[in-house]
Chain A
């Protein structure tokens, strides 16, 4: 059984003459090693005999390598791979959730409404009289007047 361990070195032709002789004696008595050797010989023989018919792709490959399209393709494809695509989606999700949450946090207060109304007034009529507002009570009065006048 110990001799079976030399199988790889035998197969790779790394045994010296004496070791090889010993292993060959072992082969005659070990069905396992004999089967393995024959199987590999026949398999590898068949694979080596297969004809690989290469196409000449040299010009096509060179053209693609130098056209900007190739790198653009690769860039898009690289972002479509699961890793980057997932990262990108996560980023989008985070961004959107920020956009969703932020406006809700910003409650519309009286000052903002005043600003909006002033902007509108400016847009509609150029000579809109601008009321001076110094405190909250003046602002409320102004707002009430505005609402009634509309």
Chain B
């Protein structure tokens, strides 16, 4: 059920009340920002994306069923929009090696695949970790990436992930599982790439 106040805001918006729509945006913009940011990565287009998501919701608002909650509906629009955007700029991928220029790449990647209990050491690598994480996510199929972000980072239950992505719960599980496997595969490919490069360098010396 929609929050009773939500449904009132939606009804007022449909009657032409601009303030009501602004209030509705204010309630959900943080959630939309989070989803957009995590699926698209940190990009200068995030602001436009958030705006576009709400404008799409606005033009489809008369089709929204007030018997359902508004949150998953708006996040579904956000996820679809992001997946669409990622498909469009397929060519643009973050280059992991250039991204990590200033780090001890091998150490960073090795640490990343190791469970450590030293909190301080991990905080040190956080910035590097998130860069690797974004680069690895960039290589994923947009559908898998969206499912992974919603489940793992935003900690949503599978039925909610399925609702947002407009698919079945089983499909959502499959996507998350494939994303996990794919991330490990990509991670290994990067690591072995670095090791090969290192061996070549050592051979030259």
Q: Which chain B residues lie closer than 8 Å to A57 at the CB level?
A: 25, 29, 47, 50-51, 54
Main secondary structure of the interface of A (DSSP, over half): helix
B67 at the interface (CB under 8 A from A): no
Structural contact, B58 and A65, CB atoms closer than 8 A: yes
Task: Give the number of residue pairs across the A-B interface with Cβ within 8 Å.
Answer: 113
B37 at the interface (CB under 8 A from A): yes
Q: Which chain B residues lie closer than 8 Å to A47 at the CB level?
A: 38, 130, 133, 149, 152-153
Query: Which of B21, B130, B132, B176 is in CB contact (< 8 Å) with A62?
Result: B21
Chain A residue nearest to B153 in the complex (CB): A47
Number of interface residues of B (CB under 8 A): 47
Structural contact, A65 and B153, CB atoms closer than 8 A: no
Kindly state the separation between the CA atoms of A68 and B50 in the bound complex, as whole angstroms: 19
B114 at the interface (CB under 8 A from A): yes
Structural contact, A8 and B22, CB atoms closer than 8 A: no
Structural contact, B180 and A58, CB atoms closer than 8 A: no
Structural contact, A61 and B129, CB atoms closer than 8 A: no
A54 at the interface (CB under 8 A from B): yes
B 1-39 to A, binary, CB cutoff 8 A, 1 in contact else 0: 000000000000000101101110110011001100110
Structural contact, B18 and A70, CB atoms closer than 8 A: no
A125 at the interface (CB under 8 A from B): no
Query: Which of A43, A48, A62 is in CB contact (< 8 Å) with B19?
Result: A62
Structural contact, B25 and A40, CB atoms closer than 8 A: no
A44 at the interface (CB under 8 A from B): yes
Known contacts A40-B180, A44-B152, A50-B130; is-contact A63 B55 (Cβ 8 Å): no
- Where the two chains meet, the residues of A that have a C-beta atom closer than 8 Å to any C-beta of B are 7-8, 11-12, 34-50, 52, 54-66, 70-71, 74
A-B interface, 4 closest residue pairs, ranked by CB to CB distance from nearest: A46-B129, A62-B22, A54-B33, A58-B26
- Where the two chains meet, the residues of B that have a C-beta atom closer than 8 Å to any C-beta of A are 16, 18-19, 21-23, 25-26, 29-30, 33-34, 37-38, 42, 47, 50-51, 54-55, 58-59, 111-115, 122, 126, 129-130, 132-133, 136, 149, 151-153, 158, 173, 176-177, 180-181, 183-184, 187
7 residue pairs A–B, Cβ–Cβ below 8 Å: A8-B173, A8-B177, A34-B115, A43-B129, A52-B33, A52-B34, A57-B25
